[in-house]
Structure 1
Amino acid sequence: MLQDEAAAGQRAPTAVLTPPVSLEGGLAAEHRPPNLLRRVLSLFGNVRPGSDLTQFQLPPLFNMPKSQLQCYGEAVYCIGEDYLNKCAKGKSSLERFASVVAWSISTTRPALFGQAPFNPILGETHHVSRGSLNVLLEQVSHHPPVSALHATDAKDNVELIWCHKPVPRFHGTSVEAVIKGKRHLRLLKFGENYEMDSPNLLIKLLPTTGADWVGDVSIRCKDSGLEADLCYYKSHAFLGFGGSSKSIRGKIFHSKTLKTIYEIDGQWDRIVKLKDVHSGEVTILYDAKKAISGLKTPILQAPQNMWSTESATVWSEVSQAILNKEWGKASAAKKNIEEKQRKLQLERESSGELWVPNHFTVTHTKEDEWNCSPLEQSVPPAPIIVSP
């Protein structure tokens, strides 16, 4: 059942909401610490290559003023041209599949070197609405960090279910965060379920710095017998120099025959084109400028309905201190949150209490694969909104 006031505890009226990361960088791009590279390298001075960084603690100087749950949510509810809406309006299964591919690309947002969102606390939630689309996220595990997302749109008969588990590892000159888990997009009107992966985040430290999305993404719909393979990569110009680190290529094909229908090529931060291999016709599949530039900041419309577990409330003091560049205050506030969570964990362990998510059922295998299923069929309207 959805969290009621008793389960959520005392509602906190304070919430700090910041602009989403957009094509122009958004507010987070303005909060870059001084001597960034030197400070980043100092963080990894005693870390061995191959180390799992899941429990690595960042000082607030390297945090953007928002939680990872908010970043996941923004990829869904912060959008210019509505590619999710297009998925439900396709006249054929092939047209809908191409729209799903475009929507998947639209969830890729610019990565910021030297800045990371807060690692959500156990039971933290993020609940936002954009028009008829209602989005709810919950942190269903802290160690390892696992985030679940459920979104429903009654108007377009669309449902989203995500389960994300980032696994960051240090490789000496870089850090790569492998995003494990699946995303499901369901077009209920057509009885179609689309399953897809996420690209991985590569943070380069030497010889040059940068943060880019890399790796392969598969999108498949068993109901229509269609699949897509995408590759996020860095293209190279003359003699291997230059090029774009935000390139993407791939294809849409029939699952049974493996026959290619469309070829995909472009840059996910610019234009991605779709080429019909039979006719040779080229069309624009995705336009980043229309999709992820000039994004609107969420606003708190109904503070009386906001849960105390809401990300914008949990991290409000830390976020505000970061915005004010009061690093000592930010460190103290973040430490207070972390110590409180450790205390709660010790209390649960001593009493033998097993923590259970409020909004999802969670299972995981011996191979550490996680699956999350929402407890409710639909997500209710949220106290935080984004104007369509």
Structure 2
Amino acid sequence: MAQCSKNQYRTSLPAPMFEKQDINMMSILKGCIGKDLSKITMPVHFNEPLSFLQRMVEYMEYSQLMRIAAEQTDPINRLKYIAAFAVSALACNWDRMGKPFNPLLGETYEIERPEFRCLCEQVSHHPPVSAFHAESPSFQFYGSIYPKIKFWGKSIEIQPKGTLTVKLPKWDETYSWNNPNCTIHNVIVGKLWMEQYGTIEIVNHQSGLKAILQFKATGSIHKDLHRVEGTILDGNKKKLFLYGRWTDVLKCTDYDSYEAYLKDNPNRFKRSDGSKSPNSESPAHTPRKVFSKLNSLKMSSFRSLSIQDNDVHDQPHDKSPEPETVEMNIPKSQSTYSIEIPNSETLWTVDPRPESSANYFSFTNFAMSLNELESHMTNLQSTDSRLRPDIRKLEHGDVEGAIIEKNRLEEKQRDTKKARKSKNGGNDDWKPRWFKIQHNSIMKQDDWVYAGGYWESH
């Protein structure tokens, strides 16, 4: 594997983020209501200069946590670091409101770093499915992502679909989980903010150990913003308490210490399932006048979506009062997490973002490097995301050029599909090159898995 220091990678993009142009969003959203946005060309002004395949690789920013897990002799300690990895994989989403480019069918992305190497491929276009496989001597991490996204008028609800799996070969252990839900609030007016919420269960399929993590729904309680709390269970026995925020830190302590702390500080933690965001506007709470505001809406007051493809729903006939816009004092940067339970251990802390991050789509240092063409990359596959001219032009601040190239690539993809179906009597027999469907006997489901041969091909 490549042996490069992270300091050798670039820490900014070739050009600052482009100025948002005024766009009458009603002309776009009118045609989107009730439709699948994967079939609609969205303006480049929504995008950040990364493909969704590259955005998916951001799960790996703190991949060392999987290596540390593999080094533990105690299965409970292994699980706590796998849980920390699951939380850390979401930190890149904080303050990221740019929509990644939809991958083209068959598009790939490869990356090699000291801790791992990873391959992604767009294995399906309708529905959009992105598969990935990362590996190192210590672990394998793989899965496929196909999010379901709904537009409620004032918020975006993202329901991530797809199972994530970690294997630790040394211990012959397999862990799996699904990511929590996410809502982006105040899409139409007000201060844009994001929350992850819901309960995820990380299971060790060999030992039966579980880590149950609750991503707190914020509601009107500002102190719950970004909070994560959870427990590692050995059967029915609670072994460790996990706590922190998905934006910046995760800690753990023994359960007795947590219970003792709770007696003295009853208001620091509240017992709830965190399963639903109280601020998510369902169709029954999306009144007609939310959509009337779109007639005069400009791009400057509309925030782009941190998603790949979407389902848009609307029920404008509800007469219920419009919920008030939630104006929360959202921090501009991750601040120090103040709770410290006795006997705690810090499992993960976020790396600081570059000072110029706000000028570059709020990218982390890791994200800044993902579209970089490094000097040793002489044998990239022609399908690699780094070679997409629309992403490259947007990265250099050429918005008009990005629009032209994005439209050209999407039209070429449609023409290629038509030709393929015409050649095969109406059947689209396209198959991914590097991934295949395989039945997973442990989780009793079919998964996209790496078919092998990629790294040997060049």
TM-score, normalised relative to structure 2: 0.67
Which AA in structure 2 matches 1:319?
I
Name whichever of 320-329 and 345-354 sits farther off: 320-329
Which of these residues, 40, 45, 59, is aligned with residue 43 of structure 2? 59
SS in 1 for 2:231: strand
Cα distance in 2 between the residues matched to 1:266 and 1:91? 25
Classify 1:222/1:114 alpha carbon distance in 2 versus 1 (closer, same or farther; 3 Å): closer
Answer with 1 or 2: which has the greater Rg: 2
Partner of 1:86: 68
Classify 1:207/1:60 alpha carbon distance in 2 versus 1 (closer, same or farther; 3 Å): closer
Kept after mapping to 2: 8 A contact 1:54/1:167 = no
Cα distance in 1 between the residues matched to 2:345 and 2:148? 36
Kept after mapping to 1: 8 A contact 2:15/2:396 = no
Cα distance in 1 between the residues matched to 2:148 and 2:140? 26
Show CA shifts across 1:195-241 (max 9, x none): 111123322214532233333322111212111122223446xxx35
Show CA shifts across 1:167-220 (max 9, x none): 111112112221111011000010000011112332221453223333332211
Confirm or deny that 1:264 pairs with 2:242: yes
Classify 1:250/1:210 alpha carbon distance in 2 versus 1 (closer, same or farther; 3 Å): same
Structure 2 gap segments, 5+ residues each: 1-8, 259-342, 354-362, 440-444
Kept after mapping to 1: 8 A contact 2:13/2:395 = no
Confirm or deny that 1:318 pairs with 2:298: no
Q: State the 1:111 CA deviation.
A: 4.3
Cα distance in 2 between the residues matched to 1:242 and 1:371? 39
Cα distance in 1 between the residues matched to 2:350 and 2:217? 17
Partner of 1:10: none
Name whichever of 221-230 and 60-69 sits farther off: 221-230
Partner of 2:437: 362
Partner of 1:138: 121
Question: 1:332-351 residue pairs with structure 2 within 5 A?
Answer: 332-351=404-423
Partner of 2:84: 102
Kept after mapping to 2: 8 A contact 1:182/1:196 = yes
Kept after mapping to 2: 8 A contact 1:52/1:168 = no
Which AA in structure 1 matches 2:52?
Q
Cα distance in 2 between the residues matched to 1:270 and 1:146? 29
Kept after mapping to 1: 8 A contact 2:43/2:403 = yes
Cα distance in 1 between the residues matched to 2:15 and 2:399? 17
Which of these residues, 445, 449, 456, is aligned with residue 373 of structure 1? 449
Cα distance in 2 between the residues matched to 1:241 and 1:41? 33
- How big is the alpha-carbon RMSD for the aligned residues of Structure 1 and Structure 2? 3.1
Kept after mapping to 2: 8 A contact 1:83/1:106 = no
Cα distance in 2 between the residues matched to 1:244 and 1:221? 28
Kept after mapping to 1: 8 A contact 2:16/2:397 = no
Structure 1 gap segments, 5+ residues each: 1-17, 21-25, 384-388
Kept after mapping to 2: 8 A contact 1:54/1:168 = no
| More strand as a share of residues | 1
Cα distance in 2 between the residues matched to 1:35 and 1:217? 39
Kept after mapping to 1: 8 A contact 2:64/2:115 = no
Cα distance in 1 between the residues matched to 2:456 and 2:194? 35
Partner of 2:153: 172
Cα distance in 2 between the residues matched to 1:112 and 1:56? 25
Classify 1:354/1:47 alpha carbon distance in 2 versus 1 (closer, same or farther; 3 Å): closer
Show CA shifts across 1:228-283 (max 9, x none): 122223446xxx353353221222112xx332222222212222221311344322
Show CA shifts across 1:79-134 (max 9, x none): 4x821221111121001000100111111112446411001011110111112511
Which of these residues, 34, 51, 65, is aligned with residue 20 of structure 2? 34
Partner of 1:71: 55
Confirm or deny that 1:327 pairs with 2:327: no
Cα distance in 2 between the residues matched to 1:177 and 1:136? 24
Which of these residues, 341, 345, 348, is aligned with residue 283 of structure 1? 345
Partner of 1:233: 216
Partner of 1:12: none
Question: 1:120-139 residue pairs with structure 2 within 5 A?
Answer: 120-131=103-114, 133-139=116-122
Q: State the 1:329 CA deviation.
A: 1.4
Kept after mapping to 2: 8 A contact 1:138/1:148 = yes
Q: State the 1:35 CA deviation.
A: 6.2
Cα distance in 1 between the residues matched to 2:239 and 2:415? 56
Partner of 2:231: 251
Classify 1:153/1:382 alpha carbon distance in 2 versus 1 (closer, same or farther; 3 Å): farther
Which AA in structure 2 matches 1:201?
C
Kept after mapping to 2: 8 A contact 1:234/1:243 = no
Which AA in structure 2 matches 1:168?
I
Show CA shifts across 1:274-302 (max 9, x none): 13113443222321237996437255243
Classify 1:261/1:203 alpha carbon distance in 2 versus 1 (closer, same or farther; 3 Å): same
Which AA in structure 2 matches 1:338?
E
Classify 1:294/1:307 alpha carbon distance in 2 versus 1 (closer, same or farther; 3 Å): closer
Name whichever of 303-312 and 330-339 sits farther off: 303-312
Which AA in structure 2 matches 1:258?
N
Which AA in structure 2 matches 1:69?
L
Partner of 1:13: none
Show CA shifts across 1:8-29 (max 9, x none): xxxxxxxxxx969xxxxx7599
Cα distance in 2 between the residues matched to 1:253 and 1:304? 48
SS in 1 for 2:67: helix
Confirm or deny that 1:302 pairs with 2:288: no
Across the two proteins, how many residue pairs are aligned to each other? 343
Cα distance in 2 between the residues matched to 1:278 and 1:28? 52
SS in 1 for 2:351: helix
Which AA in structure 2 matches 1:356?
K
Which of these residues, 170, 180, 197, is aligned with residue 214 of structure 1? 197
Q: State the 1:39 CA deviation.
A: 6.0
Cα distance in 1 between the residues matched to 2:96 and 2:136? 34
Kept after mapping to 2: 8 A contact 1:53/1:170 = no
Partner of 1:3: none
SS in 2 for 1:305: coil
Q: State the 1:46 CA deviation.
A: 4.4
Cα distance in 2 between the residues matched to 1:106 and 1:273? 12
Kept after mapping to 1: 8 A contact 2:101/2:391 = no
Partner of 2:170: 189
